[in-house]
């Protein structure tokens, strides 16, 4: 029998690999973040239902799931409310136990360059994911891009170099990352977790970054 976390990871990883390979083989076309969200949700639903193993167990998936946390301001919304890109879970009808996972997505195309704000938004999403502990056992961040700027760019501006998730880079828990421009795009961000950024790179097509996140459990 699967442990709750193990099964969530297996479902996510299999769906992630299918998504990545289908996009880069041309089997499915992605033009924006919304289409990435829909395609990934469709694959997750298929995989998730295959892993329904217990009697009375049901797999569910939601898009743009509302979430609020009193006293916590979310960086993306600037309020106590957030929307989770993809939220999937197993519910056992007899025990009422739920095993759940939240996913945030980012999709950056070279022709739609929006720098350096895109890099800030990835850290803002990681911060959001860390706050989903009340409803999530596990979380993932997924970034897809056809632009080497996020993957292997030689050097960033000193004003925004804190927001760095290039291949092989790391983030250490408690480090404050700050915009140092005259008019910052957003407030400084501090994350609970430590993260290693290891891209699934391709010679042509879309590079993908998968980041597992353990949500913070408030006392």
Please write the tens of the pLDDT for every residue from 124-133: 999 999 999 9
4-16 burial, b at 16+ Cβ within 10 Å, e below that, comes to: beebbbebbebbb
Q: Is residue 182 one of the residues assigned to a domain? A: no
Q: Is residue 176 one of the residues assigned to a domain? A: no
| Long-range contacts at 61-68 (CB < 8 A, ≥ 24 apart) | 61/86, 61/87, 61/88, 61/89, 62/86, 62/87, 62/88, 63/37, 63/38, 63/87, 65/102, 67/132, 67/135
Q: Is residue 20 one of the residues assigned to a domain? A: yes
Domain total of the chain: 1
pLDDT in tens, 80-93: 789 999 999 999 98
Is pLDDT at 217 greater than 80 in this prediction?
no
Q: Is residue 168 one of the residues assigned to a domain? A: no
Q: Is residue 66 one of the residues assigned to a domain? A: yes
Is pLDDT at 30 greater than 70 in this prediction?
yes
pTM of the model: 0.94
Q: Is residue 175 one of the residues assigned to a domain? A: no
- Which residues form the domain of 28? 4-152+201-213
Q: Is residue 107 one of the residues assigned to a domain? A: yes
Query: Cβ neighbours of residue 96 under 8 Å, at least 6 residues apart?
Result: none
Q: What is the mean pLDDT of residues 182-204?
A: 95
pLDDT in tens, 70-119: 767 676 656 678 999 999 999 998 888 899 999 999 999 998 778 899 99
- Return the percentage of the chain with pLDDT > 70, whole number: 94
Q: Is residue 193 one of the residues assigned to a domain? A: no
């Amino acid at each position: 029998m699967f442990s709750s976390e193990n099964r969530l990871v297996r479902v996510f990883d299999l769906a992630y690999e299918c998504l990545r390979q289908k996009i880069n083989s041309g089997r499915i076309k992605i033009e924006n973040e919304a289409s990435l969200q829909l395609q990934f949700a469709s694959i997750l639903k298929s995989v998730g239902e295959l892993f329904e193993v217990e009697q009375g167990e049901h797999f569910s998936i939601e898009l743009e799931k509302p979430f609020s946390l009193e006293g916590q301001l979310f960086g993306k919304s600037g309020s106590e409310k957030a929307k989770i890109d993809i939220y999937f879970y197993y519910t056992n009808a007899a025990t009422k136990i739920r095993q759940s996972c939240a996913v945030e997505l980012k999709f950056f195309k070279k022709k739609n360059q929006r720098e350096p704000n895109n890099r800030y938004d990835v850290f803002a999403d990681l911060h959001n994911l860390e706050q989903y502990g009340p409803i999530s056992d596990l979380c993932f961040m997924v970034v897809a891009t056809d632009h080497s700027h996020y993957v292997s760019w030689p050097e960033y501006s000193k004003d925004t170099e804190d927001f760095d998730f290039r291949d092989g880079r790391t983030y250490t828990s408690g480090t404050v990352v700050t915009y140092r421009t005259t008019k910052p795009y957003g407030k400084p961000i501090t994350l609970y977790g430590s993260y290693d950024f290891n891209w699934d790179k391709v010679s042509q097509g879309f590079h993908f970054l998968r980041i597992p996140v353990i949500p913070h459990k408030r006392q």
